[in-house]
Amino acid sequence: MRRLATTVRDALGRLQNPRTAAHPEFPDLEPRQLTMAIAGSAARQCQLPQAPFGYCSRHFRPGDEASWLHLIETEFERWDRERFDAFLSEPERRQGSCVIEHKGLIVAATFASRATAHPLTGTVDYVACDPAHRGRKLGLMACGAVVKYLGENGYDSVSLKTDDWRLAAIKVYFDLGFTPVINRIDMSARWEAIRHQLEAYSST
C-alpha cells in the first residue's frame, strides 16, 4: 500500500487538477470525476471480508457523529457538523451506511445514498479510512456492506464517483465488481491509464 501511495503522489505531480482532470488529449473538456457502477443483482451477491480482530463493522448509531465527522475531515474538504447532520438526515444514509469501529472510534466508513436523478440507483458516497488503519481491508468491508445493503433493498444498480488518483480505492471498487462507466470521450483513455498504473503496482 505504501508503494501504491508513492505512485499516487508521483501521478499528482503530473496532473494540473488531479481530482477531476480530463485526459491530456482532451484539454478543452471540463473536469469531471470518474463513474463506476454495479448491477443490483451483483450487489446482492457481494461477499464481505471478516473484520480483523479488534474491529467491528456495523451500521450508524446515534453518538457516532463526532468521530465520523473527524474521519471525513481527514479525507475531504469543506465538512462541518451542520453539513454532516444534514447529509445524514436522509433515511437511506442512516439505515444503510456502514462504519468500522476500533476502540470506540470510527476508523473507516461510507454512506449509502440514493441517486437524486435516478431513484432506483443507489450510490456509495464519501469512502474514508483513517491512514493509521489502512492495509486491513477496512475500505473493502465498509463499501461492500453498503453495496450489499443497497442491492438487497431493491436498487437496480449501485454507482459511485471517484478520482483518477485514488488508485487504492479504485482497486477496492474493482474487487467488489464495479466496472467503469464510459460517459464521455476522455473516459476510455483515463481508464486505460488507471489500469496500467494498477497493473504496474500489482507486478511489483
- Identify the helix (H) or strand (E) that includes residue 86: helix 81-88
pLDDT tens digits for 82-103? Answer: 999 999 999 899 999 999 999 9
Name residues whose C-beta falls within 8 Å of residue 101's C-beta, 6 or more positions apart in sequence: 55, 56, 58, 107
Q: What is the pLDDT of residue 73?
A: 94
Q: Is the pTM of this model over 0.95?
A: no
CATH fold for domain 2-202: Aminopeptidase (3.40.630)
166-200: per-residue pLDDT in tens? 999 999 999 999 999 999 999 999 999 999 999 98
d(CA 11, CA 7): 6
Which residues in the chain belong to E strands, given as ranges? 34-39, 55-59, 98-102, 105-114, 121-129, 157-162, 179-180
Q: What confidence tens digit (pLDDT) does each residue in 127-177 have?
A: 999 999 999 999 999 999 999 999 999 999 999 999 999 999 999 999 999
DSSP lists the bridge partners of residue 9 as none
